[in-house]
Structure 1
Amino acid sequence: MSAPTDDMLGTLQALHAALEQVRLPLEVPGSAGHRTRRTEMAEQLEDYVLPRLREIDAPLLAVVGGSTGAGKSTLVNSLVGQVVTEPGVLRPTTRSPVLVHHPEDAAWFDRQRVLPELERTERSTDDPQALRLVASTSVPQGLALLDAPDIDSVEARNRTLATQLLGAADLWLFVTSAARYADQVPWDFLRTAAERSAAVAVVLDRTPPEAVTDVSHDLARMLTARGLRDSPLFTVEERPLGSDGLLPADAVAEIRGWLAELGADAGARSAVVRQTLDGAVKAVARDSFVIADAGAAQLETRSRLERDVEVAYAQAETAVDDASADGTLLRGEVLARWQDFVGTGEFLRGLESRISRLRDRVTAAVMGKPQQAERVTVAVESGLQTLVIENAEAAAERAEGAWRADPAGRQVLEGTATDLSRASRECRAATERLVRDWQAAVLDLVRTEGADKRGTARFLAYGVNGLSVSLMVVVFASTGGVTGAEVGIAGGSAVLGQKLLEAVFGDQAVRRLAATARADLAERVHALMLAEQRRFTALLGDLDLPDDVPDRLRTLARRVDDLRFSNGGAA
């Protein structure tokens, strides 16, 4: 094998590996066709291109394919001169493909050189995953015939196998009939052959003698119009079969003679092989860019679905952050318990006129009220839990709704039994832990900050719990978002809490403690929402979409094109 061939073989092997890694699971526009083409490309590389490159001098493989009832098997039997493949009386016929070769060429086909996944056998079988090998001296050395299933079979696995076998051919011997030559399916295959520059010969079979001229001229015109003008066209008249089930020898003499000449001419065989091989390589390289774009579209779709979830939960985090800092939580039970703790009513009445005396009055009010401080803590715990859970539920509903409105997202949702429109079953317990842990962290903040003040009168008067709930109240109104009548209630409550803390720690320390406590709460909420979000993103992770495959495919496809051009435009 030459160095250029070695380079091409190595590059195509890498390209095959990259194609095997392409995943197109999401339903995006064109994905069904791209999945089919990716499979065809991988199979053709494995079944034909790579084996052929490794053994460029192996016998030419002519695959006989065509429409249902076109007479492929009868034609193959008649060309060989014996029944080697059973014609189907009932449709569809499901059996193994049959490869007929010269006995001297047996070594080329009894190992996994072409169609490596098909099991080799020498007996007749109905297993479509087996390749029956038949040796016959009627087939010229250097050439083999393979009888494929119907390309338009109603049996899906027959159609799939026929496509795969035609992809493994050096030469397509395409069989149609006077009654079927204008059918769409055969022309779809022939168009594919023209696009891939594959070598094609066409047999117009089962043609009434009186229609031979008209039908063959019409078929030749259609071949020319579709880029197959140079394809040999043979006509086989409708003739009675002999007792052996074969056509008369003269009916297939022209085709047999052409195959014999091809088998005897090494240069002609080589030209056919190289034409088809280069066409296949060119098509694989060209379509690799299409598959790469399809892979990139999958990645973009995955990213879009991820963004839908991120936006939904980011909104939830923002809502919790806003509501836990704008005074929203300083209402209802929290406000009532706080007022019980500090005697807010009396202080609010004198807040504006006697602000300088506030610290001393607060000290007197809270002295000896540890139970009220604990009640504030419990109220804060309940209110904050409700706030977080409500927003987790809202985020799940938004994210699920966004996916439900997207075909790809809907597909992912339908693949799981979990109801993602609600928060997880673990969310409530996780939220309870979050709030308790945050309150404990606030307590630690106060305890640490007051380490050198624990013997002071004010520290002893307020207590760690009292100072902690005061800090929570300050955090809950830290943005000054309350307005109007609420200033006198929630805002005033926050001012009192701040004055309590300043009496012990000073104003700068209070601002730092409030900022730390608020950031800690936001971080804990983020972690909880991220855990909830992972219920969605884990489903996307299960899709197994490697990020680097599209770019790797494009790089390898460009390398294949470069090697072709450096070799004069041939594989």
Structure 2
Amino acid sequence: MADELSAALGELRRLLDHDLFPLAVRDVAGDRRALKELTGQLDDYLLPRLAAIDAPLLAVVGGSTGAGKSTLVNSLAGAEVTEAGVLRPTTLAPTLVTHPDDAEWFLATNVLPGLPRTTGKGRGEPGSLKVVTTDSVPAGLALLDAPDIDSVVTANRELAAQLLAAADLWLFVTTAARYADEVPWAFLRTARDRSTALSVILQRVPLEALDPVARDLARLLEENGLAGTPLFVVPELTLPAENTRLPASAVQPIREWLNGLSADAKSRAEVVRRTLSGALDSLAVRLPALADAADRQRAAADELRALVGKSYESGMTAFDEGMRDGTLLRGEVLARWQDFIGTGDLMRSLESRIGRMRDRLVAAVRGRPATAKELTTALESGVEALIRSVADQSAERAVESWLATPPGRDLLERSGVAMAGRLGRVSPELRARAETAVREWQGYVLELVRSEGGDRRGRARAASFGINGLGLMLMIGVFASTGGLSGIEIGIAGGTTVLSQKVLEAVFGDQAVRKLTENARADLRRRVRELLDEEEKRFTVLLNGVTGADPAALRSAAAAVHAHRLELPQREVR
């Protein structure tokens, strides 16, 4: 039923009611223009016309600059209802001329709801629709003087296209000097493709050129698939400077044609049905094109999301390498470790006396709470610094990867010039988050040590060495590889690793120590992954705000409109 067709169009309009094309992908300007044209035609014509199939016809008078559109409207209305002149652009606000009986329909926002109405003399305000009533325009038909389709003012060109898309009938005006220009023919081909009811009015034709110019224009109409289009020719006339109307005889054929159309309900119904059907049929081409463009948008968003994910995955890989390459055992951590277990002499004697030194290490572990705290702090600082470093590198890579693509570069620019700089560094909150994560990890490691000595004998052994000391040795074991060290550092780090490993194995056994180390490392990785994920969200939140439309939903809506296409109601003949 017609109600179902209207409902399908309403659902389609809802899907189009946001930015479908937020990313700079291919010809995004063309995609956005097509979207704007479609939503405008839905609002201005399809939905209101379906809701009131018997409403008066709207004939839009359109054409190129200087074609004489306003003069023609005045001549057909028999009064100066719209301002004509030599200044360009002349039509700053479109003027709609209607019979008083139809004024209520056009003064309400039934058609062109985005244009506020004005009445009275003088020019209308730009961006408004001036409504003028006169008995000289037949009831059932309104004339709308549109801005130039090739106006130097962009807003005027866009408004002209919008008004033509809202018309039941086009009265397309051109001149002998400009009838072959490409811009008008682009509009005429659009009318052809959408089966819009159309007539062409050729003005300002020198008397000696009437026949050849008219024949040539008829030939062009036929070549462009518009054979049979009503064609009216108005000769070039010399008018007084103050006169804004053509002689009645010059426009009499056009007036008679329009009067006949308005007087014949069947003819009016045919015009409405033709234009409405053509606009609906055009959706079969326009909507799939929009859905394809939406597909490209989603693919671009997925690519940008993947670039960010790859950047932060590289950051996670760098953290893994930082855990295993021994660099965390350099500097402050290494110095505090030496203080923790004893003197430099003890360290140098580890290789030859590892067995006996273990006992001394145990005593050191249990008897140096101050140095244990210093080692804990140094280790915490080292891990935090590693986290911030890999997060900084990830952010920088992510920004660089986006700047290397048109969609990413455009998104960063539209988000603000300073945005790229902020995103290229870690967030201000990362430091506090990293500190919390590392402290919680250290607490987790201590709990691991405590829970591993679950039975009475295990608890006794663990207590004899000290939970804090064993926890520190387990933390050291997480970063126990020597891949990044050289020279004497390898000997020291290797010795300390072996020594702490022996103590842990003496308490828990070698298999349990491997499991403890794996669990501690996995837990730290999980916490760092969460931190990096949170940093990554600063990028993905920009993408989440530009997801566009669901292409599948657009295609489904197009199919629903097509399914109800034959339910187009008949215009009542009265």
TM over 0.5: yes
Partner of 1:371: 370
Partner of 1:564: 565
Alignment of 1:89-100 (within 5 A): 89-100=86-97
Partner of 1:495: 498
2: CA distance, partners of 1:84 / 1:366: 100
Verify the 8 A CA contact 2:98 2:134 in the aligned structure 1.
yes
Partner of 2:280: 281
1: CA distance, partners of 2:570 / 2:315: 59
Verify the 8 A CA contact 2:56 2:102 in the aligned structure 1.
yes
Q: What are structure 1's unaligned runs of at least 5 residues? A: none
Secondary structure of residue in 2 paired with 1:21: coil
Deviations 1:184-206 (A, max 9, x none): 22112112111111111111111
1:21 is matched with which residue: 18, 21, 40? 18
Secondary structure of residue in 2 paired with 1:20: coil
Partner of 2:556: 555
Secondary structure of residue in 1 paired with 2:12: helix
The amino acid of 1:283's aligned partner reads S
- Identity level (%): 52
Partner of 2:207: 209
In structure 2, do the counterparts of structure 1 residues 518 and 248 end up closer, same or farther at CA, with 3 Å as the change threshold? same
162-171 vs 455-464, greater mean Cα deviation: 455-464
Verify the 8 A CA contact 2:169 2:275 in the aligned structure 1.
yes
- 1:529 corresponds to 2:532: yes
In structure 2, do the counterparts of structure 1 residues 457 and 214 end up closer, same or farther at CA, with 3 Å as the change threshold? same
In structure 2, do the counterparts of structure 1 residues 340 and 148 end up closer, same or farther at CA, with 3 Å as the change threshold? same
In structure 2, do the counterparts of structure 1 residues 480 and 332 end up closer, same or farther at CA, with 3 Å as the change threshold? closer
Which structure carries more relative contact order (alpha carbon 8 Å, separation 6+)?
2
115-124 vs 289-298, greater mean Cα deviation: 115-124
Secondary structure of residue in 2 paired with 1:202: strand
1:539 is matched with which residue: 542, 563, 567? 542
Verify the 8 A CA contact 1:453 1:459 in the aligned structure 2.
no
Q: Structure 1 residue 461: deviation in Å?
A: 4.9
Q: What are structure 2's unaligned runs of at least 5 residues? A: none
Partner of 1:66: 63
2: CA distance, partners of 1:209 / 1:454: 119
1:165 is matched with which residue: 156, 163, 166? 163
2: CA distance, partners of 1:49 / 1:568: 13
In structure 2, do the counterparts of structure 1 residues 361 and 182 end up closer, same or farther at CA, with 3 Å as the change threshold? same
Secondary structure of residue in 1 paired with 2:54: coil
Secondary structure of residue in 1 paired with 2:350: helix
2:106 is matched with which residue: 99, 104, 109? 109
1: CA distance, partners of 2:96 / 2:283: 26
Partner of 2:436: 433
The amino acid of 2:94's aligned partner reads P
2: CA distance, partners of 1:451 / 1:472: 20
1:133 is matched with which residue: 110, 131, 134? 131
Q: Give the number of equivalent residue pairs.
A: 560
- 1:409 corresponds to 2:412: no
Deviations 1:151-191 (A, max 9, x none): 11112221121111101111110001112212222112112
Deviations 1:360-409 (A, max 9, x none): 45435545233333333233223222221211111111001001111111
Partner of 2:148: 150
The amino acid of 2:77's aligned partner reads V
In structure 2, do the counterparts of structure 1 residues 205 and 153 end up closer, same or farther at CA, with 3 Å as the change threshold? same
Alignment of 1:339-350 (within 5 A): 339-342=338-341, 343-350=346-353
Partner of 2:233: 235
- 1:76 corresponds to 2:76: no
Partner of 1:185: 183
Q: Structure 1 residue 214: deviation in Å?
A: 2.0
In structure 2, do the counterparts of structure 1 residues 490 and 569 end up closer, same or farther at CA, with 3 Å as the change threshold? farther
The amino acid of 1:317's aligned partner reads M
74-83 vs 102-111, greater mean Cα deviation: 102-111
Verify the 8 A CA contact 2:62 2:173 in the aligned structure 1.
yes
190-199 vs 235-244, greater mean Cα deviation: 235-244
- 1:120 corresponds to 2:117: yes
Verify the 8 A CA contact 2:83 2:90 in the aligned structure 1.
no
Secondary structure of residue in 1 paired with 2:66: coil
Q: Structure 1 residue 491: deviation in Å?
A: 3.8
514-523 vs 113-122, greater mean Cα deviation: 113-122
69-78 vs 488-497, greater mean Cα deviation: 488-497
1: CA distance, partners of 2:296 / 2:258: 46
431-440 vs 464-473, greater mean Cα deviation: 431-440
In structure 2, do the counterparts of structure 1 residues 100 and 126 end up closer, same or farther at CA, with 3 Å as the change threshold? closer
Partner of 2:449: 446
2: CA distance, partners of 1:184 / 1:76: 24
Give the structure-2-normalised TM-score: 0.91
2: CA distance, partners of 1:298 / 1:245: 50
Verify the 8 A CA contact 1:97 1:148 in the aligned structure 2.
yes
2: CA distance, partners of 1:569 / 1:259: 21
Q: Structure 1 residue 567: deviation in Å?
A: 6.8
Deviations 1:85-129 (A, max 9, x none): 110331112432222222333343232221122223321333133
2: CA distance, partners of 1:366 / 1:61: 93
In structure 2, do the counterparts of structure 1 residues 332 and 569 end up closer, same or farther at CA, with 3 Å as the change threshold? farther
Secondary structure of residue in 1 paired with 2:17: helix
Partner of 2:424: 421
Verify the 8 A CA contact 1:327 1:491 in the aligned structure 2.
no
The amino acid of 1:185's aligned partner reads V
1: CA distance, partners of 2:323 / 2:433: 18
Q: Structure 1 residue 142: deviation in Å?
A: 2.1
2: CA distance, partners of 1:41 / 1:155: 22
Partner of 1:399: 398
2: CA distance, partners of 1:285 / 1:128: 34
Q: Structure 1 residue 541: deviation in Å?
A: 2.4
357-366 vs 81-90, greater mean Cα deviation: 357-366
Deviations 1:250-269 (A, max 9, x none): 11111111112211222122
Verify the 8 A CA contact 1:323 1:329 in the aligned structure 2.
yes
In structure 2, do the counterparts of structure 1 residues 93 and 175 end up closer, same or farther at CA, with 3 Å as the change threshold? same
Q: Structure 1 residue 501: deviation in Å?
A: 1.6
The amino acid of 1:319's aligned partner reads A
Q: Structure 1 residue 358: deviation in Å?
A: 6.7
1: CA distance, partners of 2:526 / 2:337: 26
The amino acid of 2:551's aligned partner reads P
The amino acid of 1:251's aligned partner reads A
Deviations 1:497-528 (A, max 9, x none): 12212222333432332222112211111121
1: CA distance, partners of 2:182 / 2:154: 17
Partner of 1:504: 507
Partner of 2:383: 384
2: CA distance, partners of 1:393 / 1:288: 43
The amino acid of 1:520's aligned partner reads D
379-388 vs 300-309, greater mean Cα deviation: 379-388
Q: Structure 1 residue 457: deviation in Å?
A: 7.1
